[in-house]
Structure 1
Amino acid sequence: MMTWILGFYLILVLYLIYIIWMTLGLTRFLNQKHHKFKNPKTKFSIVIPMRNESDNLPALFRSISELSYPKALFEIILVDDDSQDDSWKLTREFQTHYPDIKVYLISNSEGNFTPKKNAIHKAISIASKTYILTTDADVLLPTHWLEIYDSTLQQTDADLLAGGVVVAKRASFLSHYQHFDMLSLQAFGLGSFARNHPVICNGANLCYRKQAYLDADVNLGKEKIASGDDVFTLQSFKRKGYAIEYLSNPESVVWTMAQESFGEFWQQRRRWARKTTSVDSWYMKGVGILVTLMQLALVLSMFLGFWNQAFFGFLVNAFVFKFVVDGWSLSRMAKIQNLSFCWMDFLKVSLVYPFFTLFFSLTSLYGKFEWKGRRFAK
């Protein structure tokens, strides 16, 4: 039993060291001076795949209409993936009400890729602008979104810019959990960029040069993986040696809605987990293993404590240290994105986090998962 306890403490120490090391990398973003708006010149094709999004489209369209960027410099390409609701009708109404905004609605016909990858690839093939900006149909876009991307691209001439995504907190505990979970993913992503190991980004807020995307052949070997269009794009750009940057300006963050039911949330996490095994990054896989082992040590110590009280001692010590360090890390990430941070809400989420994480990890290893009414094997 003593060997197990020492092993658990070793995992805890390694975990804490990694979180502290990663979080310290965020320091340069905390004090970063953001680029001032320049005379806009970058041309964007905004690509939005959609499937049965009639509940979300009105809010998305309203945020598009409020974008403070010259309308001649951007176009919207919505790719409908066989929606069975009023998504098509709502899009047509938006086109009618805002004729000064170039909005294209195309059908996601069958292709060589899984639906979302195919939608993005098809939209890019007809896009007329220099830069592609991908987002989702269930997000809200900030007013100065395009201006911030434009000024950053003029300053850095990056081939890929990854932006932040925030899950809106509502009254439900599940939405609070998803808010902090997304915040932790953002901290990992931004911290990895800061440490020159960029491994994850989010397709709900991702910009890249169109020609670079075509040259990188980002879907090669990943055609049948349902998720990962964002991570595989980042990975391909890294291999090509393209310039990659993270957009930390809080005014560039897009907001998305939390999954309303645990079943939907579970399927979403299974979909995300499946792409991890296909990512060619030992760094990302190593961090994933470390995080999983940390959660496993907490759960096992809870049960083993009934046979040996020393495990209860580890459980208390590990939870307190982990809670403080994780909270410090996420509060800094929240500050970067100009968000409030509630320690009490984080405490509630922390109590169930190990169980949720292990459940999602274990159930993602087998069986098919559902997304948008379809079933996928990977």
Structure 2
Amino acid sequence: MTWILGFYVLLVLYLVYILWMTLGFIRFLKPEPPEKRPPNAKFSITIPMRDEAKNLPDLFNSISDLSYPTSLFEIIFVDDDSRDDSWKLVRAFQADHREIKIYLVSSQSDRNNEAGSEEKLSPKKNTIHKAISLSSYPYILTTDADVSLPEHWLESYNTSLHNSVADLVAGGVVIEKSTSFLSRYQHYDMLSLQAFGLGSFKGRQPVICNGANLCYKKQAYLDAEVNLGTAHIASGDDVFTLQGFRKKGLEINYISDPESVVWTKPLESFGELWQQRRRWARKISSVDSGYIKAVGILVTLMQLTLVLSLILGFWNPEFFVFLVTGFVLKFMVDGFSLSSMAKVQELYFCWTDFLKVSLVYPFFTLFFSLTSLFGKFEWKGRRYSK
């Protein structure tokens, strides 16, 4: 009976939190998009890449379709020792689009951080720092080589920056869905992260953002010294940047304009997804935020109660009752939250797909959480311990 009571208490806490978070960002969203402002902000777009030859053509097509004046932005590709034809493809794109200021540099250089300490920057952070050091414009826009950029991406940021005094503006990221179940899992999992991110921004507790769609003032980035103490961690260039801006008391905002959302491809295998989640877990454990860790524990424990109820129900039918009750309530509340986030990004939300994902979500979450605690992980041909 004590276990059952504890499970129900945990369920109530989880449902209340998800509803509070969702109602928070719904309440603050404007029903009408802001009026577009004439282009005047200048952007340096930084794109780190390593072995991205298969993804670059889609990125190139979206860059070609950008409607922002080419005189107001530059693109800096930083190659992180790619082993494929990424370098050649960027060179060819550069030659075919001389109207766009495109630069291609190698990240293989001194990897001491900007503070001059002996701490070395991880490869990903090094590529971003290298691009920023070479940038010419006051606003940095970071993205990835496996994304597709919306046509009015830069106009959206130009308007957002004009309408606020933000030093950092975070944008949305959507993972494309295909016919595979794994892509649908990643799509809805990313949607949940976007909902949590937007909820944290609107709740004045911004703790998570995505480096595939992140804009900030160059000088503010340099002043915030975002890599101090975290330079060696393989991932987290986004959340540690956000953390650095928060510590400096800088103004932070979230852009909810659907035309600012970038699309990225899903990982193709479970092994790749597992390694990615292990990489993400390592960065979250190093984030200086009790809030994000508390939410992570709450979500993990909620999944654990569902799995335990499935097992314990064979000895005590009351656990089966909790399993059905908990799953149905969780499915409805999670669906309300994610469908609301989908409306923000003008996405189609399929309840049938979400139901299928919800059935395996507790097992995936527990597996990723437990296996992320031990051993090294691999990412793009390199092994890391953090």
- TM-score interval, smaller chain: over 0.9
The answer to whether the 8 A contact 1:227-1:272 is kept is: yes
Counterpart among 358, 361, 368 of residue 366 in structure 2: 358
TM-score, length basis structure 2? 0.97
- Are residues 127 and 107 of structure 1, via their aligned partners in 2, closer, same or farther at CA, if it must alter by over 3 Å? same
C-alpha distance in structure 1 between counterparts of 2:28 and 2:179, whole Å: 30
- Confirm or deny that 1:192 pairs with 2:191: no
Amino acid at match of 2:266: A
C-alpha deviations, 1:285-343, integer Å up to 9, x for none?
00000000000000011101111111111000000000000001100000000000000
1:70 paired residue number: 69
Amino acid at match of 1:62: N
Counterpart among 260, 278, 285 of residue 277 in structure 1: 285
**Unaligned stretches of 5+ residues in structure 2:** 112-119
Q: How many residues align?
A: 377
- The residue matched to 1:79 in structure 2 has which SS? strand
The runs of 4+ residues in structure 1 deviating greater than 6 Å are none
C-alpha deviations, 1:241-269, integer Å up to 9, x for none?
11100000011000000000000011011
2:114 paired residue number: none
- The residue matched to 1:365 in structure 2 has which SS? coil
Amino acid at match of 1:79: V
Shift of 1:155: 1.1
C-alpha distance in structure 1 between counterparts of 2:32 and 2:79, whole Å: 39
1:91 paired residue number: 90
- The residue matched to 2:163 in structure 1 has which SS? helix
C-alpha deviations, 1:32-66, integer Å up to 9, x for none?
43222211111100000000100000110110111
1:103 paired residue number: 102
The answer to whether the 8 A contact 1:159-1:242 is kept is: yes
- The residue matched to 2:105 in structure 1 has which SS? strand
C-alpha deviations, 1:201-251, integer Å up to 9, x for none?
000000000000000000000011001000000011011111100000011
Residues 90-239 of structure 1 aligned to structure 2 (within 5 Å): 90-110=89-109, 111=111, 112-239=120-247
C-alpha distance in structure 2 between counterparts of 1:244 and 1:21, whole Å: 21
Shift of 1:29: 4.8
TM-score, length basis structure 1? 0.99
- RMSD, aligned α-carbons: 0.8
Amino acid at match of 1:56: N
Shift of 1:157: 2.4
2:14 paired residue number: 15
2:116 paired residue number: none
C-alpha deviations, 1:139-172, integer Å up to 9, x for none?
0000000011001101102100000000000000
Amino acid at match of 1:103: I
2:117 paired residue number: none
Identity level (%): 71
- The residue matched to 1:291 in structure 2 has which SS? helix
C-alpha distance in structure 1 between counterparts of 2:28 and 2:195, whole Å: 11
2:37 paired residue number: 38
2:78 paired residue number: 79
1:307 paired residue number: 315
2:376 paired residue number: 368
